[in-house]
Structure 1
Amino acid sequence: MHITRLIAFGCSAAAVALTAGSVQAQEQMQIKIGTEGAYPPFNYITADGELQGFDIDIARALCEEMNAECEFITQDWDGIIPALQAGRFDAIIASMSITEDRKEQVDFTEKYYNTPPAIVVPNDSNITGVTTEDLAGKVIGAQGSTTHFNYAEATYTDSEVRGYPTAEEYKLDMENGRLDAVIDDIIVLQEWLDSDNGACCKVVDTVTPIEEIYGEGIGIAVRQGEDELREKFNEAIQAIRENGTYQEINDKYFSFDVYGG
């Protein structure tokens, strides 16, 4: 009788544990995250094929906070919003600026970082400023379909602005003397300048972002109407800011707080 009771209790406890485990598995969210994989140090693919970067580490921390199982899908920048709308993934975590134009297509979380743009020129350039007059008559490169490209077209009206599919392609043209200047996020540019390939060039200055173009910072995009997912991301961003996880990731990549004011 005693043995029977122990066996019965053991089976009952195992059943409870199995049920609890099944419920937990059912409750775990499955999220597909779209990113570019070509924008170091925020998101990039290493030589051995691993997806890494600040965006990726933040995404993983948010997924852990949300008890979500996340899968990353790389997507060319030009098609990243259409791919989200088509259901290829559930969210974009790819250093996307929160702008009014994009809000007409997707919904955004609160920002998870905010850093300024800058202008880079060749080391022997006579360009000393970042105004319209300073760059008049020059050829300026930027990644197409970005806030940086939009800013360059709106501001440098006396210059030729060339759009590139990726940041790597404008860097290559700059290194080979086919551009007079490029514009991008200061951190992306500094990462390049600190590499062997970036020895060609120097930062002139940062650019004061125009909110109408650059928006409120960098956020996570979800499909319009996906309010529950958006709020879960917002809560997770706040949580990792408060529990120190954000700072740990920040310090892995940067020497200052990229969250911004």
Structure 2
Amino acid sequence: MDRRQFLKLSAAALAAPTLAGLAGCGGTATKTQKKTKLVVGFDQEFPPYGYVGDDGKYTGFDLDLAKAVCKMEGWEYKPTPISWDAKDSLLNSGQITCIWNGFTIEGREKDYAFTKPYMENRQVVVVPKDSSVKTLADLAGKNVITQADSAALDLLSKGGAQEKLGSTFKKLQTIDNYNTAFMMLENGSVDAVAIDYPVAVYNIGDRKDEFTILDEALNSEHFAVGFAKTAEGKDLAKTVQADLKKLDKQGKVKELCEKYADQGVSYDLWVL
């Protein structure tokens, strides 16, 4: 499946100075330091980590964490919705500072400057309640859909830990967002959705009589905050990591987990 950077003006012109300014903060920004805008790249259709709330504002577990870190550092917080499959180009061009939105670290360690993992997650499969699919093995010959450029896709594709399972599918499709995937599952266009567990819980909501999550998970993984793999990005990752630990000690993390508990977020899964 969650949930810091600068103005979107000119990515190339602004990225370097803004990152340098943030990296210089180190811990808590002093009163003399210039307030810096931090652009947080996230998928606005990836609840409970990042989504549009009933009030029309961006919200979610990861966005709340990002906002708390910005407050601690004196950074101006700017959540920026992105197309998930464009995240790398946006990050490397400086249009966003980081990817903070249920971002799986496994398999991507060499591509980003990550914080240490802060949350455990697992990829699961959702099927209609009346489906004949009861186990992962039952997916053979079925049409399965997942989000483009997602951890689930990596897992089921060639070279992934579940490549063998994925090869048994009739078809492995991708879609831009999980809302559409659930609509396709509902109308029978696909047989199953491969998805992050908390996102599955959120999308199922009160429709437990319509959909179910298979008992067998595809894997166990972890979320981390990803920055550009530069000296500045590495410094920012260390700063954010330290702040997340402080927020945990202050009880803020547990508070946020309880806020999103009915959406599959649990403090028991916090690992930092």
Shared fold (TM-score, shorter chain, > 0.5): yes
Distance 2:69 2:93 in 1: 23
- 247, 250, 271: which is aligned to 1:240? 247
In structure 1, C-alpha distance between the alignment counterparts of 2:67 and 2:210, rounded to whole Å? 35
SS in 2 for 1:121: strand
Structure 1 pair 199–88 and aligned structure 2 pair: CA distance change class (3 A): farther
Q: Shift of the alpha carbon at 1:89?
A: 1.5
Counterpart for residue 214 of structure 2: 204
* Runs ≥4 residues deviating over 6 A: none
What is the CA deviation profile of residues 143-181 of structure 1, one whole-angstrom value per residue up to 9, with x for unaligned ones?
111111122332321101111111111111001111111
Amino acid of the structure 1 residue aligned with 2:114: F
* Structure 2: stretches of 5+ with no match in the other structure: 1-29, 158-162
Deviations 1:212-237 (A, max 9, x none): xx5xx111111112222111111011
Q: Where do 1:37-52 residues align within 5 Å? A: 37-52=44-59
User: Counterpart of 2:102 in structure 1: which amino acid?
Assistant: S
Give 1:183's aligned residue. 194
Q: Do 1:152 and 1:183's aligned partners in 2 also have CA atoms closer than 8 Å?
A: no
Contact 1:117 1:206 in 2 (8 A): no
Task: Identify the match of residue 166 of structure 2 among 151, 156, 159.
Answer: 156
Deviations, residues 3-39 of structure 1 (Å, cap 9, x unaligned)? xxxxxxxxxxxxxxxxxxxx61525443221111110
- The alpha-carbon distance between structure 1 residues 247 and 167, as it changes in their structure 2 partners (threshold 3 A), is same
The partner residue of 2:139 within 122, 125, 135 is: 135
- Partner SS state of residue 62, structure 2: helix
CA contact (8 A) 1:111 1:218 kept: yes
Q: Size of the alignment, in residue pairs?
A: 230
Q: 3-state SS of the aligned residue for 1:158?
A: coil
Aligned 8 A contact 1:38 1:167 in 2: yes
CA deviation string 1:205-256 (max 9, x = no partner): 241516xxx5xx1111111122221111110111111110100001100163
**AA in 1 matched with 2:200:** L
What corresponds to 1:35 in structure 2?
42
Which residue, 85, 89, 95 being the options, matches 2:92?
Answer: 85
Q: 1:73 to 1:140 in 2, by over 3 A?
A: same
Output the amino acid matched with 1:205. D
Counterpart-to-counterpart distance in 2, 1:87 and 1:167: 27
Please state which structure has a larger fraction of its residues in helix. 1
Could you state the TM-score of these two structures normalised by the residue count of structure 2?
0.78
Q: CA deviation at 1:48?
A: 4.3
8 Å Cα contact 1:31/1:70 also seen in 2: yes
Deviations 1:126-149 (A, max 9, x none): 11112xx32110111111111111
Identity of aligned residues (%): 22
Backbone CA RMSD of aligned residues: 2.0
What secondary structure does 1:99 align onto?
coil
Confirm whether residue 221 of structure 1 aligns to residue 231 of structure 2. no
Counterpart in 2 of 1:75?
82
Maintained 8 Å contact 2:117/2:271 = no
Partner of 1:9: none
Question: Which structure dedicates a bigger proportion of its chain to strand?
Answer: 1
- Aligned position for 1:14: none
Residue in 1 that maps onto 2:257: 250
